[in-house]
Amino acid sequence: NMSDALANAVCQRCQARFGPTERIVNSSGELYHEHCFVCAQCFRPFPEGLFYEFEGRKYCEHDFQMLFAPCCGSCGEFIIGRVIKAMNTNWHPGCFRCELCDVELADLGFVKNAGRHLCRPCHSREKAKGLGKYICQRCHLVIDEQPLMFRNDAYHPDHFSCTHCGKELTAEARELKGELYCLPCHDKMGVPICGACRRPIEGRVVNALGKQWHVEHFVCAKCEKPFLGHRHYEKKGLAYCETHYNQLFGDVCYSCSHVIEGDVVSALNKAWCVNCFSCSTCNSKLTLKNKFVEFDMKPVCKKCYEKFPLELKKRLKKLADLASRKAQPKPVDVNSA
């Protein structure tokens, strides 16, 4: 009977018998004196009866962690329960995450990339970046051929088929109103293609330089700001805003050294702003209809010229006559040949 069995039982730890009125601790069929049911390391009773068993010995939570529990490579805390072993380190399942997107990797798997643990999509993106290629947004693999751009994302072309004819698409596919079409089907619709992005233009169209453009894509070739209906200037197949056209191709005023915006006064083999072309002596405004004389490579009005000393005027006249003779073509003696 039960009393006989307890009378013959011994403590699992000290192997002594139990007293008839003594309290006995039963742990999974093993019997202990109350004072013998203690941690194998610190010999103290288990707080709230909680213990951890390892290789036949029982430990309190603190000593079990100190002796056997691994530390997490991320948070540094002891790991009780499921342990993820990766990258020569132990991790809590919730701490083992992709180093780029922070997604949990415990149940997804991971890929080593330059000493980092990454999820497969991030690894593919990093690999594509290193190769200078795109990553497919559907299968997350590198796109070796020309990608199909759909809603600003890259895809393998064979992941889509033409909305109209059902044929497998190529990188030349066109998007229209959220649907993809092969090039022949799209061209039959008569939709204009932007000269910059090569995509269909569904709204307002800008016709310039022999092409059609999205309003926001028709920009200055220098500053790349959209014209948005403002005047543009064409040069060698490119469009420029007025400021940069003048900077690149306009005349520079001899007087103020600024690019001339507007009308140009050409005089004395030089270019002038309308407001800068004036007498260098009295500063009165001149036009090409006024009579003026060149003095020190600058214009002088008739009134100021009349005030010059007689000797200076004679010298200027002599220089002008000499320059005129040099400019005249010399006669050729046809009999001398």
As to burial, measured by CB atoms within 10 angstroms (0-12 exposed, 13-18 middle, 19+ buried), residue 318 is: exposed
pLDDT one-digit tens code per residue, 166-190: 787 777 777 777 777 887 887 766 6
User: Which stretches of 225-276 are assigned E, i.e. beta strand?
Assistant: 233-235, 238-240, 264-267, 270-273
Torsion of CA 25, 26, 27, 29, to 10 degrees: 150
pLDDT one-digit tens code per residue, 25-62: 888 778 888 888 888 888 888 888 888 888 788 888 77
Q: Name the one residue in this structure whose structure tokens are 């405004």.
A: 285
Residue 219: per-residue pLDDT: 93
53's enclosing H/E stretch is strand 52-54
* Mean per-residue pLDDT, 11-15: 86
Tell me what the pLDDT averaged over the chain comes to: 80
Q: Which domains does the chain have, with CATH numbers?
A: 72-132 (2.10.110.10), 143-190 (2.10.110.10), 196-249 (2.10.110.10), 252-323 (2.10.110.10)
108/94 Cα distance (integer angstroms) = 12
pLDDT one-digit tens code per residue, 279-304: 988 888 888 777 788 887 788 888 88
pLDDT one-digit tens code per residue, 242-290: 788 877 877 778 888 777 777 888 888 888 888 888 898 888 888 877 7
* Mean per-residue pLDDT, 15-33: 83
